[in-house]
């Protein structure tokens, strides 16, 4: 059974940093591209970042470019999102999602809540 479990969310002050993790199981993690997608309270889905299976290709949404860094450790079946210079508008539930193809998120984690507030 495919499972994606996010962790690392919490309360952080504006300008602070946080590192999210996503532990994958039930599939060959190293062969799939992965994404982070977020959802602000009461709002819609917003794609954040994409990483290819070998980390050769990485994309970011303009809203996080230069502040967030996506990475993965295929040996540990884990996906990460390093978030720096956090802003109030980064407050959201952050989901990791497995890709079959760009945009085709076939499995999602349960999400981890990040709250940026002073």
Partner 1 sequence: QSVLTQPPSASGTPGQRVIIPCSGSTSNIGSNYVYWYQQFPGMAPRLLIYRNNQRPSGVPDRFSGSKSGTSASLAISGLRSEDEADYYCAAWDDSLSGVVFGGGTKLTVL
Q: Which of 86, 105, 114, 116 binds partner 1 (CB under 8 A)?
A: 105
**Secondary structure class of 5 (helix, strand, coil):** strand
According to DSSP, the residues that pair with 78 across neighbouring strands are 23, 73
Span from 9-17, 21-29, 53-61, 72-80 in contact with partner 1 (CB under 8 A): 53-61
Task: Report if residue 88 touches partner 1, rule: CB under 8 A.
Answer: no
Residue 41 as a binder of partner 1 (CB under 8 A): the answer is no
95 contacts partner 1 (rule: CB under 8 A)? yes
* Residue 31 three-state SS: helix
Centre a 10 Å sphere on the Cβ of residue 84 and count the other Cβ atoms it contains: 14
Q: Is residue 91 helix, strand or coil?
A: coil
For 118, the 3-state DSSP assignment is: coil
- 54 vs 110 by CB, closer to partner 1: 110
Chain residues that interact with partner 1, rule: CB under 8 A: 35, 37, 44-47, 50, 59-62, 95, 100-111
């Amino acid at each position: 059974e495919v499972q994606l479990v996010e962790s690392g969310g919490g309360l952080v002050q504006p300008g602070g940093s946080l590192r999210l993790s996503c532990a994958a199981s039930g599939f060959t993690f190293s062969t799939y591209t992965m994404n982070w997608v977020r959802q602000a309270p009461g709002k819609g889905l917003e794609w954040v970042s994409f990483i290819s299976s070998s980390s050769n290709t990485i994309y970011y949404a303009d809203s996080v470019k230069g502040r967030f860094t996506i990475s993965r450790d295929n040996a540990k079946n884990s996906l990460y999102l390093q978030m720096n210079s956090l802003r109030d508008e980064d407050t959201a539930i952050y989901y990791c999602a497995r890709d079959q193809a760009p945009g085709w998120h076939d499995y999602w984690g349960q999400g981890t809540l990040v709250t940026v507030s002073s």
